[in-house]
Amino acid sequence: MQFKLSQRILKPDFQGEFTASILAAAASPDIISFAGGLPNPVSFPIPEMEAATQKVLETNGVIALQYSSTAGWPALRRWIAKRYETMGVYGVEADDIIVTNGSQQALAMIGAAMLDAGDKVLVEDPTYLVALQSFHVFDPVVVPVAINADGIDCEKLAEAVKANPDAKFMYVIPNFQNPTGLSYSQEVHDKVVEIFKGTNILLLEDNPYRELRFAGTATNSFGAELGEQCCMLGTFSKIVTPGMRIGWICVRNRELRAKLLGYKATADLHTNIFSQMVLAQYLADNDVDAHIEKTKALYKQKAEWMMACMRKYLPAGVTFTPTEGGMFLWATLPEGITAVELYRKGLEKGVAICPGDPFYETERNVRTFRINYSNSSDEVIEKGIRILGEVCEELLNQ
């Protein structure tokens, strides 16, 4: 049987083979995978979750298992709204929050609510590959803007905004960006605010890693200065659990909020209320900040260990930017080797990295690659980096 599919779904994946093969490699038990972005299980509060579940089912079982409202569980939305004060954003209300199936769903919702074919979207270059994929469903023109070690390239951003005043939104990840692990400096942050103020372009801020800073100082959320011009995405995936798929969008513009709610109702009625209530109970009964501190301490040690191994085992020509948080390092190969070569040869020797290519809208055969440190033991990190070093040498000597 050959069904007639939509043009949308028949478009070749502009990222080629990468996504599927990287996920497959990450799932294989025989491969040392630095390719994915899995949190370390130390960040999963299992016994606390068990206690929270028991409490929810015993006191509110009927509500937890019944249909619920599209916006999400009020107690959870209140917690999220309040949390914005730690990011310098005051006055957020529970009603500004829509709970989504991971922040990934919020990306799809914004795409659906804002993009017609041919509309322009600005993104960091490189950027989160599944965000790119999710925008491409709606056939926009994606305008990539280079990112530097201190955040988006403000000169290029100003040009891009000037050249595309009708852009619908810009997607940014200001803290420990995926894939680069880079963060916006205060200076870059302030310039970005200046560039966007007075335009009609929505700033879509994704912030999955901000809570994972183990050094330095975080900038505030862009919502502090840009108000309703900034929609803020968040997630519990990196601080409590990704398995429950609970993220959110903070949207203070009323018209947009109403449209997003309508779209979400059509897409899946509402997010799993049982898990929303369990999570809210967990947050009420536990010190989540202490829990995050534990995760951060581990990630700091892992990051430092991986950087030490990279300095020890990789050829001198391989450079990387030291990180202050998040889950990834971003490295650059010397001229003459591409990241895809390292990926393919590495895989043959049992080690997967994530080549930069699928994170770029247009560039291919790049020399940059992403490497994850959150979910491997110290032994595995050392072994994997040692093998990668050998592969680099081989490639250099070809």
Show contacts with a second copy in window 274-303 (CB under 8 A): 274-275
Query: 183 in helix, strand or coil?
Result: coil
Comparison of 278 and 310: residue with beta carbon closer to a second copy: 278
DSSP-derived secondary structure letter, 368: E
DSSP-derived secondary structure letter, 177: -
Give the shortest CB-300-to-a second copy separation in angstroms. Answer: 21
The answer to whether 178 contacts a second copy (rule: CB under 8 A) is no
What are the residues facing 152 on neighbouring strands?
A: 147
Contact 328, 128 (CB under 8 A): no
Give the shortest CB-1-to-a second copy separation in angstroms. Answer: 5
Query: 324 in helix, strand or coil?
Result: coil
The answer to whether 380 contacts a second copy (rule: CB under 8 A) is no
Q: Among 90-98, 267-275, 288-296, 307-315, which window interacts with a second copy (CB under 8 A)?
A: 267-275
Q: Among 101-109, 309-317, 333-341, 380-388, which window interacts with a second copy (CB under 8 A)?
A: 101-109
The answer to whether 79 contacts a second copy (rule: CB under 8 A) is no
The answer to whether 12 contacts a second copy (rule: CB under 8 A) is no
Q: Measured between alpha carbons, how far is residue 262 from residues 117, 232, 256, 268 in Å?
A: 21, 19, 10, 10
The answer to whether 386 contacts a second copy (rule: CB under 8 A) is no
The answer to whether 28 contacts a second copy (rule: CB under 8 A) is no
Q: Among 190-198, 240-248, 313-321, 355-363, which window interacts with a second copy (CB under 8 A)?
A: 240-248
Show contacts with a second copy in window 121-140 (CB under 8 A): 130, 133-134, 137-138
What are the two backbone dihedrals, phi and then psi, of residue 189, each rounded to the nearest 5 degrees?
-55, -50
The answer to whether 115 contacts a second copy (rule: CB under 8 A) is yes
The answer to whether 104 contacts a second copy (rule: CB under 8 A) is yes
Give the start-end residues of each E strand in the chain.
Answer: 32-33, 97-101, 120-125, 141-148, 151-152, 169-172, 202-206, 230-235, 246-250, 319-320, 328-332, 351-352, 354-355, 368-372
Comparison of 267 and 307: residue with beta carbon closer to a second copy: 267
Cα(362)–Cα(36) distance, integer angstroms: 22
Instruction: List the x/- string, 41-70, binding to a second copy by CB under 8 A.
Output: x--x-xx-xx--xx--xx--xxxxxxxxx-
Comparison of 47 and 397: residue with beta carbon closer to a second copy: 47
Contact 315, 396 (CB under 8 A): yes
Residues shown for the chain? 398
Q: Among 37-45, 171-179, 216-224, 383-391, which window interacts with a second copy (CB under 8 A)?
A: 37-45
DSSP secondary structure string for all residues of 192-256: HHHHHTTS-PEEEEE-TTGGGB-SS-PPPPTHHHHGGGEEEEEESTTTT-STT-EEEEE---HHH
Comparison of 102 and 126: residue with beta carbon closer to a second copy: 102
Show contacts with a second copy in window 151-170 (CB under 8 A): 166, 168
β-strand 202-206 against 230-235: which pairing, if any? parallel
Instruction: List the x/- string, 201-230, binding to a second copy by CB under 8 A.
Output: -x------------------------xxx-
